[in-house]
Amino acid sequence: RPKLSGPKLLCQMKENVEVETLTSDLQPFSSLPWASQLPMSQLTSDLGPYRTCAVVSSAGSLRYSGLGKEIDSHDAVLRFNAAPTTGFEKDVGSKTTIRLINSQVMASDDHRFLSSSLYSSGALVAWDPAPFSADLSQWYNRTDYPIFTQYQRYRRLHPMQPFYILHPRFEWQVWQRIQDNMAEPIQRNPPSSGLLGTILMMSLCEVVHVYEFLPSRRKTELCHYYQRFYDAACTLGAYHPLLYEKNLVKRMNQGSDHDIYTHGRVSLPGFRQLNC
Ligand code: NCC
């Protein structure tokens, strides 16, 4: 299989992946009593467009990076799961426009999803590792974690905060882009939040800077910048096809290798900027 160049990869991504979210008029949700808690319109029609965006990975290598000011200078900032800003402003900034969370975070007691103020700034976007090629009803009846019960509870407590759920088709479309561009078969688990969030921002922004997804010279076995926990699998992947995701992002990067080395910074064009 021929290895696609960066511009071709970017166009393939733009043409084959669509950021889709669940809306209240979508079956089987539309016939459920809580359907009206779902947004009426798509995330991509409600948010943005933004000029510049930052995607802040949760990697340990952000610690002591001093990137906070640079990150906050973007028009929109996306963060992941339980990654805090309080106490880490110097390294990761303090602005949160969108927080992408997996269903494990919503369900586990440690993260206090329903009560912690960590989740209350910006728009929330949740996703759940849906079975490959399952339809919405199959997924609804066996989600990985109880994403829908937690969603309903959160919406009741915070009815004014924008809160979207990604359509599982999106995660598998992204997965397919990875698989189609790798020589060997990759594990049939959805991409990490990191890549999903990056593609989401490429749909909303003119320019996307991703921080410490491709590790800089600060690369460390520290898993997260906010926790004293060491595991190289956080950076290299285990469940998620993370190393393959990083390979793809490296090939799409329009910035320099020096930017990666010093800032852990990747520059990607928004899909609207591409002439495919
Ligand atoms: O660790 P996590 O991700 O929350 O990190 C967000 C994204 O940042 C990138 N990352 C993170 C750490 C690191 N050293 N290098 C990185 O490149 C990854 O792209 C990652 O996606 C997830 O993808 O949702 C994940 O969530 C955690 C966990 O569920 C949450 O942090 C809540 O505790 C997963 N960990 C476990 O299941 C134990 C992780 O595998 C993926």
pLDDT at 158: 97
> Are 191 and 171 within 8 A, CB to CB?
yes
Please indicate, yes or no, if residue 194 is contained in any of the structural domains.
yes
Going from the Cα of 192 to the center of ligand 1, the distance in angstroms, rounded, reads 7
State residue 58 phi and psi, 5-degree precision: -100, 15
State pLDDT tens for residues 228-272: 999 999 999 999 999 999 999 999 999 999 999 999 999 999 999
Considering its fold, how many domains does the chain have in total? 1
Per-residue burial over 77-103, b if 16 or more Cβ lie within 10 Å, else e, is bbbbbbbbbeebeebbbebbbbbbbbb
Using only C-alpha atoms, what is the Rg of the chain? Answer: 18
Question: Does residue 103's CB lie within 6 angstroms of at least one atom of ligand 1?
Answer: no
Question: Does residue 197's CB lie within 6 angstroms of at least one atom of ligand 1?
Answer: no
State pLDDT tens for residues 22-56: 999 999 999 999 999 999 999 999 999 999 999 99
For ligand 1, atom 41, the nearest C-alpha belongs to 192
pLDDT at 173: 98
Residue-number span of the structural domain to which 221 is assigned: 6-271
Please indicate, yes or no, if residue 1 is contained in any of the structural domains.
no
The atom of ligand 1 lying closest to the CA of 245 is 19
Please indicate, yes or no, if residue 276 is contained in any of the structural domains.
no
Please report, for the domain that includes residue 251, its CATH number. 3.90.1480.20
* Segments in the chain below pLDDT 50: none
Amino acid at 110: D
Question: Does residue 132's CB lie within 6 angstroms of at least one atom of ligand 1?
Answer: no
The ipTM of this complex is: 0.98
